[in-house]
Amino acid sequence: MLVFGIDPGLTRCGVGLVRGSPGRAEFVDAGVIRTPTDLPVARRLLLLETALEDWLEKTQPEAVAVEQVFAQHNLMTVVGVAQAAGVALLVAARHGLPVASYTPSAVKAAITGSGRADKAQVGTMVCRVLRLEAAPRPADAADAVALAICHLWRGGAEARLAAAAPAVRPASWGRVVAQSKAGR
């Protein structure tokens, strides 16, 4: 599976592409989309949308993984990240791609084994997992690659569980009782 990871941001939006399956990952590409801070927000969002469209058209991924927005101390940063995440979700939906969202701690736990890992630890593990000499730069690109790896390793299992759950889970306790009585 080819997964496109997006670490949303209005000034720097990390993107990373990884191919693989659970337990196996291969680096394909990574980068950062930058928007000038002196432009109006609407124009910056349009530039981000155009750049993400270009990446998706060029790389043709099978799935997209986007980092979930989390509360920070700087409200303006949260707003910009949320707007960038919204653009990323919109672009993926326009392409008909399945989208998964992961919290920063879930990505860190998937890559390093600890949800409290710092950026250096995430970068080190991205290098080890992908057998790279150096982590993609800047850190936003490495974070996007980590998101893609996280989806490769966790997304497939989560999708299979979600698909299987309705088949396994009865619609109500009444049906459980009725099925158990019928089975006697």
Q: Annotated catalytic sites, by residue? A: 7, 67, 140
* Residue 70 C-alpha from the chain's centroid: 14
What does the DSSP assignment read for 156-174? Answer: HHHHHHHHHHHHHS-S-HH
- Please say whether the beta carbons of 144 and 5 come within 8 A: yes
Residue type (1 letter), 21: S
- Please say whether the beta carbons of 45 and 87 come within 8 A: yes
